[in-house]
């Protein structure tokens, strides 16, 4: 690591990043290779628990340092996107329970999730509602002192085999409620989905699934706040995942261009190549700083951080897509071979521009913030 790249971080933060890179390369990557694509890799999750990384996202009382989360995700992504995704989804699925769950739920699930013994999922998206959370249709109807859930969720990470889900359902015309729903609940079923990048992801079907009142996360009809509290924390770290992948692609392109000869010179001596990589390096660092700035604002208690998080996610994920594309162009056809690092990253990076708010949604968030001020005071810019 160069001194200027991480000059804004403390020594402890740099050590955390370096530790995650080493673990990803030496411990998690071999476990990831041994796993079956598209299926839960429980040995990998247990290793994440054994090395204490899951504790980073399951801090006491739900107070998770957002910058630590970003550093872990960037470090893991440099050498094992599978480990990064397993870590991130475990945190995303469990954070609503940690931050808003009653003691019964927290005590039953959080220690096991932190050890990697139980698997969590975050169940928000539906067939008719992705970024438009207001369109959620999964119903939660009163049933004695509890609720019955009826409907469907789709593109749910770790589904259908997670052990417990943080589920968001409609409890009134304008209100959503969050629930902790164990996989063993009668009436809960599902199936895996095969996507471009083979992660464990699937569909969940709720057929009158009964959930006791003790499994409500937060307050009834206030589930939107629970979801946004989780997404505000995790959204900048999606950018960190993208930065880690972009850096891996840039490193590969620089190494290859330094040795590959064409027309009597190395590719690095061809301005058409070297200047492209210079632009990518600048973009990766800019994305990293946007991500770290948004996370630092969150950690300092600045609220809302919605615009900063949107800028970080938008810029970092769009930059990562370009970085990997340029790296493939530098390598040529060999980078398209199945199993090549860049072929793998090309499939991995695409989804980051969609989940936890597509790039178009991030632009809308940023634009609304830009124009909120002038409208609020009735003035003109």
- Catalytic residue numbers read 356
The torsion region of residue 275 among left (phi > 0), alpha (psi -120 to 50) and beta comes to: alpha
Contact in structure between 24 and 57 (CB atoms under 8 Å): no
In this structure, are strands 188-192 and 216-217 parallel, antiparallel, or unpaired? unpaired
Q: For residue 376, what are its two tokens?
A: 């609020």
The 3-class SS string of 244-255 reads HHHHHHHHHHHH
- Angle (nearest 5°) at CA 90 between 84 and 95: 125
């Amino acid at each position: 690591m160069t001194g200027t790249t991480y000059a804004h971080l403390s020594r402890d933060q740099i050590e955390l990043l370096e530790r995650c890179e080493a673990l990803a390369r030496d411990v998690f990557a071999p476990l990831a290779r041994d796993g079956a694509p598209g299926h839960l890799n429980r040995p990998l999750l247990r290793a994440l628990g054994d090395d204490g990384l899951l504790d980073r996202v399951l801090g006491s009382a739900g107070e998770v340092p957002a910058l630590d989360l970003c550093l872990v995700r960037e470090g893991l992504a440099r050498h094992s996107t599978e480990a990064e995704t397993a870590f991130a989804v475990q945190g995303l699925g469990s954070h609503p329970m940690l931050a808003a769950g009653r003691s019964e739920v927290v005590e039953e699930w959080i220690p096991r999730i932190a050890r990697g013994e139980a698997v969590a999922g975050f169940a928000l998206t539906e067939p008719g509602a992705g970024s438009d959370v207001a369109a959620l249709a999964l119903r939660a109807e009163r049933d004695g002192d509890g609720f019955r859930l009826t409907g469907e969720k789709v593109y749910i990470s770790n589904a259908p085999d997670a052990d417990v889900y943080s589920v968001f359902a409609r409890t009134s015309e304008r209100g959503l409620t969050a629930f902790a729903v164990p996989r063993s609940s009668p009436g809960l079923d599902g199936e895996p989905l095969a996507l471009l990048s083979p992660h464990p992801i699937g569909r969940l079907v709720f057929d009158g699934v009964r959930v006791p009142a003790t499994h409500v996360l937060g307050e009834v009809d206030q589930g939107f706040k629970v979801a946004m509290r989780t997404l505000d924390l995790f959204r900048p770290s999606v950018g960190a995942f993208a930065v880690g992948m972009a850096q891996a692609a840039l490193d590969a392109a620089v190494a290859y261009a330094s040795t590959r000869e064409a027309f009597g010179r190395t590719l690095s001596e061809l301005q058409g190549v070297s200047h492209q990589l210079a632009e990518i390096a600048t973009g990766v660092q800019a994305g990293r700083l946007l991500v770290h700035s948004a996370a630092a604002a969150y950690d300092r208690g600045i609220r809302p951080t919605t615009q900063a998080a949107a800028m970080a996610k938008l810029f970092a994920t769009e930059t990562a897509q370009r970085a990997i594309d340029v790296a493939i162009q530098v390598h040529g056809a060999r980078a398209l071979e199945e199993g090549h690092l860049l072929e793998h990253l090309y499939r991995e990076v695409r989804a980051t521009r969609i989940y936890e708010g597509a790039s178009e949604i991030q632009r809308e968030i940023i634009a609304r913030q830009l124009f909120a001020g002038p409208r609020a005071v009735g003035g003109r810019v």
